[in-house]
Structure 1
């Protein structure tokens, strides 16, 4: 019972090492179970030992073999061919070199670093030779001693994770005496613990898409649309397509893949990104204002016309749908009446006291101003800011500038007026239109006005 308890202790230490570190993502564990033989003979020159490696294979003469499971190992792959291993073993010693022994009990607890030559010979092949080096502690009955170990072994993998293993290890005892020896072993090794994050049956180290469940034929990557092209290589992973178009479809069959086809449901021309051109004028139908009548692109696919009958051909007309004047490139010109209308609205624009923030009740007037401005797309308008004479000149100038800028900002950002068509400036108290001596006059002087940029005074 004492010997059995000691072996169970060694076994528990060996198996417990599995939880000494967290399991690595891609480095599997391996356990081994087998038998071992201890030979004290071929390790020296003095009786009861022979010369180094003398009668190394003397199984009947010198080997001590316990006819049962007598060795357990746990190993963990580290990387680049290296692994770490813990081994526990038990034996009965009745041959101590060249003499008989009194049925001693042998226990061993060893740790080793191993290097596999498998990848150098044939990556993922069945033949897997390895070297090991390490140390351990050995007991003969109640006598214990430390050892330095070096070994040579072979794994013969019959499947991806099961191998037949043989090993011969030399154990050099640090204590004086005849306790240095060879320990040979044979058994089965089972590799396990590979990580499969996405649960698709393919370990992460071989899975090209380790976080998304996929198929073996695509090395663990999915094919969401089932078109035979892995999502990672599929330009259209959610729509079945063909390899010709990198997994995308060509719905209208015009030779242009749908993502590049601006008209995917109507067969068209490659030169026009898959869109048709019924009149063959080089302007695709969706942009051709005269799709059944050939015309130049400069005139939107139509023959040269004057749609608004203002005497300016559409190709030269900056406002082809609104009658204008030749002097203004076909656009309407702003009249005095329009400027007056704009300023009737501008008179109603209110600001917070002493600030440039516009009151909400003024938004309707600003929107009306922008509607009028949109009727004159080629005209540049100027927003003027003015104050009364109360306060310092510097303060009034700054306040008028910021109020004019606030109006411009609203027209551009809220109403979509092109920023190049609106300028602003503040003039402080320098341009009164009424006396500043009365409240009524000062109220008139606090104003925002709209004028034409080209006509404003510099």
Structure 2
């Protein structure tokens, strides 16, 4: 009865310690219920004891094993692999080294600081150091303890613990000894603030009850999309619409659908467009005939049928191209004709002044340019190789500018023309003959690219 009371005292001490600390991490507590064996022999003391570690595993001759659960310990995780634990144990001593003794009672209460090397793994070894108080035959003394142990976890919370502790006594009347334990360990004490069954450590939303599929975060409308990613957390919807419903099935969420009861187009905020002109039927004055929004969905006229509405057509009565604002584009043939005329423009020798007899051909050029009011051109000047490069360059630039100025003064918009001189750098004939040099002295009017 006295032995039982001492064990109960040790257990109460342990439980009192465990209740005195707050629980702050997932399963910070570990309780181990085990059997223990006490061995006085391999401690390096005098006979009937042996040398240090001699006959360390001689269970039958030296170990004192109480055939029952005879040890209980509780430890608390402190962080970074460290934990602190308190253990209580009892035993009966029949083997004191090589000597037999009458059944002596054995009680121990020990505190240990442990360091676990491989936390979170199945095989979890640790080392510990601590101290305690041990009674043998009701005579007690303090001890300094060194511990080597191993946890083998079968699951997150349950495992097997094997431990050996060397207990060095501070008093001569208590012999130094080894105490081995083997038992079942259970980890517990995880905090679940929101009560959803997921520990706070693993709960992405620890203050709001949720489900395991979303790491503890809620899905209020049950549509399989967690609330934090659900644009409509209180209405079940589809993943494609971020959890929002779509009553008319047009792919536009009801909250964004201006016509939620009629299937429509995403581009028109869920409203229909029967004629496909980009104007919703509700705003379309001609809902069955395509037309521009600027004309409330009704078509503008296109007199020349070139695809450019008359209101935008720079040449509404002549078929042109959309790229050229409804006006015809300069063809290769027209370009050749234009340059055939331009090459016949004559200048005073060595000057940029245009001879009067060139006015007829310039009038023809102006007529052609006016047929293409949206096209832009570059007036280019060229010379032969007679004279210096510098003078030829300056002359070519001056002649090109002179032609440009003549054209702009006679009805061609200035923004459509530019001028550039190339000097003698782009001959089209030999400069060794008078005919060749005459061909090289020229003006070209080319479509600007």
TM-score by length of 1: 0.58
Shift of 1:137: 1.6
Query: 1:268 aligns to what SS in structure 2?
Result: coil
State which structure, 1 or 2, has the greater radius of gyration over its C-alpha atoms.
2
Residue 135 of structure 1 and its aligned partner are, at CA, apart by: 1.8
Alignment of 1:20 with 2:33, yes or no, is no
1:131 to 103, 127, 131: 127
In structure 2, which of residues 214, 228, 251 is the aligned counterpart of residue 218 of structure 1?
214
Give unpaired runs (5+ residues) of structure 1: 305-458
* Alpha-carbon distance in 1 for matches of 2:294, 2:165: 89
Aligned to 1:242: 238
Aligned to 1:145: 141
CA RMSD of aligned residues (A): 3.0
Q: Per-residue displacement from partner, 1:113-146 (whole Å, max 9, x unpaired)?
A: 2233444xxx4x5433333222212222343322
Q: 1:184 to 1:265 in 2, by over 3 A?
A: same
1:96 aligned partner: 96
Q: Secondary structure at the match of 2:13?
A: helix
Which residue matches 2:159?
A: 163
Q: 2:192 aligns with which of 196, 201, 208?
A: 196
Which of these residues, 242, 249, 253, is aligned with residue 249 of structure 2?
253
Q: Is the 8 A contact 2:208 2:217 kept in 1?
A: yes
SS in 2 for 1:255: coil
1:300 deviates by: 6.6
Is the 8 Å Cα contact of residues 145 and 175 (structure 1) preserved in structure 2? Answer: yes
Instruction: Determine the C-alpha separation between the residues in 2 that align with 1:70 and 1:135.
Output: 19
Q: Say if 1:188 and 1:284 are closer, same or farther in 2 by CA, change over 3 A.
A: same
Question: Which residue does 1:69 correspond to in 2?
Answer: 69
| CA distance in 1: counterparts of 2:263 and 2:190, whole angstroms | 51
What residue is the counterpart of 1:60 in the other structure?
60
Q: What secondary structure sits across from 1:271 in the alignment?
A: helix
1:267 matched to which residue of 2? 263
Deviation, 1:58, is 1.0
Distance 1:35 1:238, change over 3 A: same
Q: CA deviation at 1:78?
A: 3.0
Deviations 1:55-110, CA, capped at 9 Å, x for gaps: 11111121112222311112223334333211001112232233334433221111
Partners of 2:259 and 2:82 lie apart in 1 by 59
Aligned: 1:38 with 2:34: no
Residues 79 and 275 (structure 1), Cα distance of their counterparts in 2 relative to 1, 3 Å cut: farther
Give the deviation of 1:164 after TM superposition.
2.5
What SS does the corresponding residue of 2:246 show, helix, strand or coil?
A: coil
1:33 deviation in Å?
Answer: 1.7
Looking at structure 2, the residues matched to 219 and 43 of structure 1 have their Cα atoms a distance apart, in angstroms, of 52
Query: What is the CA–CA distance in structure 2 between the aligned matches of 1:273 and 1:265, rounded to whole Å?
Result: 12
Note the C-alpha offset of 1:19: 1.3
CA deviations on 1:397-444 (whole Å, 9 max, x unpaired) are xxxxxxxxxxxxxxxxxxxxxxxxxxxxxxxxxxxxxxxxxxxxxxxx
Native 8 Å contact 1:277 1:291 kept in 2: no
- Judge conservation of contact 2:136–2:174 (CA < 8 Å) in 1: no
Instruction: Indicate the SS of the match to 1:16.
Output: helix
CA distance in 1, matches of 2:183, 2:157: 14
Q: Which runs of 5+ in 2 are unaligned?
A: 301-449
The number of residue pairs the alignment matches comes to 299
CA contact (8 A) 1:27 1:79 kept: no
Equivalence for 2:377: none
C-alpha contact 1:166 1:187 (8 A) present in aligned 2:
yes
Q: TM-score normalized by structure 2?
A: 0.59
Once residues 190 and 218 of structure 1 are traced to their aligned partners in structure 2, the CA distance between those partners, rounded to angstroms, is: 27
How far 1:215 moved relative to its partner?
2.8
